[in-house]
Structure 1
Amino acid sequence: MSQYDKILFAGDPHGNFNALIAAVHKHKPEAVVMLGDYDLDKPLEEYLADIIGSTEIWWIAGNHDFETPNKYHNLFHSALAHKSLHLKVAEVAGIRIAGLGGIFLGRVWYPPQPPKWQNKQHYLDYQSAHIKNAEMSLKYRSAIWHDEFESLKNQKADILVTHEAPGSHRHGFPIIGELAAAMGVKHIFHGHLHENYTRTIKQQISVIGVANRAVTNLRGHILSDL
């Protein structure tokens, strides 16, 4: 195994995990990190049964994973629920990886505009009683919240994985690059926009966009694309 293949990054599978499973069998990585939008009709572990036990599996959520209660439950209540990287840093195959799932949502925070709510409690405090006493809707759970985003800046990591893109992409957000710089990150891997590309942003941070169903290694080389 090449040192660059010890961690693989998988773009949005949208229900088709064949490329990731094939790449794991071929390259035998220590870990894989999935970048969101799974579109799960059954629990995540059932899709990945062929590779569970062969490699560590980590993930962040994308916007599609909040579209329906079933998609949400099949991810967040799966046997792999504890492997979420969202808003934390984990040591994966000896590398510190931070995760930021979800998307920027206009009704919550859409940079460079200021956030509409300080945090989730601030939002709930301004809702009517029947909303205030209920669980937050899936739409709002899919959002990147300003206070949680800011809290990540207090941690350090080598790699940041996100669903949204930083400013390297025409539809990306420069503030993600600012987060990476604050954390001391050298590499960002993201999904969501279905494009394979590699670019460099400020502070010499390399950005690797991973297309839907594509799998790349630590250098951003495409290993599988089905």
Structure 2
Amino acid sequence: MNPNNKILFAGDPHGDFRPLIAAVHKYRPEAVVLLGDYDLEMPLEICLQEIIGLTEIWWIAGNHDFETPVKYKNLFHSALAGNSLHLKVTEIAGLRIAGLGGIFLGRVWYPPQPPRWRNKQHFLNGQAAGAKSAALSLKYQGAIWPDEFHALKALKADILVTHEAPGGHRHGFDVIGELGVAMGVKHIFHGHLHENYTGIVKNNIKVFGVANRAVADLMGNTLKDED
């Protein structure tokens, strides 16, 4: 097996998992990492039942995964719920991979602007008495929260996977590159922007954008059916 294919990264499927399934059958990776925005009409394990047992399946969430209770439940209450990489480092096929799901939400934190809320409890405490709830709405659950983001900086990893893009892209955020620097990563893979591209941020970290329904190898190469 080509060592670059031992982990594959899947861009936003938006309900179409066929390219990922085909890539797993063709390249037989040890693991696949999904970069968010699944638009699940059924539990994730049903969508990926053809490849369960053939490879490890890991994921982070995107903004679409918080759009409706059904999409949320089919991911976060699925049989693969425990394979989320969000806010932690997991050793996968011999590499340490860190995950940051969700997006920057202006009502919480939209860098480089300062955060409106320090953390989830700060936000809940700040709601009007009649609007207070013990739980966050789905939209706010899908936000990147400052305290959780900064806690990741204390961890070390080889690869960072995010839904949002780091700086260097016109729609990216410099703080994600700064997170990669703090964690000592060599590569950042992200989805969300529906674009295959390669870039470099501070400390010579290579950035790979993976387009919707695209599949990339460890070097950021987009895998084609004819390869």
Please, what TM-score do these two structures have when normalized by structure 2?
Answer: 0.97
Quick check: 2:124–2:134 contact (8 Å CA) kept in 1?
Answer: no
CA RMSD of aligned residues (A): 0.9
Give yes or no for contact 2:35–2:162 (8 Å, CA) kept in 1: yes
- Structure 1 stretches of at least 4 aligned residues deviating more than 4 Å after TM superposition: none
Percent identity, please: 73
Gaps of 5+ in 2: none
CA contact (8 A) 2:158 2:186 kept: yes
Aligned to 2:201: 201
Residue 67 of structure 2 aligns with an amino acid whose one-letter code is: E
Written as runs of structure 1 = structure 2, the 5 A alignment for 1:125-204 is 125-204=125-204
Amino acid at match of 2:20: L
Aligned residue number for residue 2 of structure 1 = 2
CA-CA distance at 1:201 after TM superposition: 1.2
How many residue pairs were aligned?
225
Question: Counterpart of 1:60?
Answer: 60
Contact 1:20/1:224 (8 A) holds in 2: no
Q: CA deviation at 1:202?
A: 1.2
CA distance in 1, matches of 2:111, 2:222: 30
Q: Distance in 1 between matches of 2:154 and 2:163?
A: 20
Task: Indicate the SS of the match to 2:165.
Answer: coil
For the residue of structure 2 that corresponds to 1:157, the secondary structure is: coil
Question: Which consecutive residues of structure 1, in runs of 5 or more, have no partner in the other structure?
Answer: none
TM-score in terms of structure 1 length: 0.98
State how far apart, in whole Å, the 1-side matches of 2:90 and 2:65 are. Answer: 22
Whole-angstrom CA distance in 2 between matches of 1:224 and 1:58 = 21
CA contact (8 A) 1:197 1:209 kept: yes
Give the structure 2 partner of residue 12 of structure 1. Answer: 12
Structure-2 residue corresponding to 1:71:
71
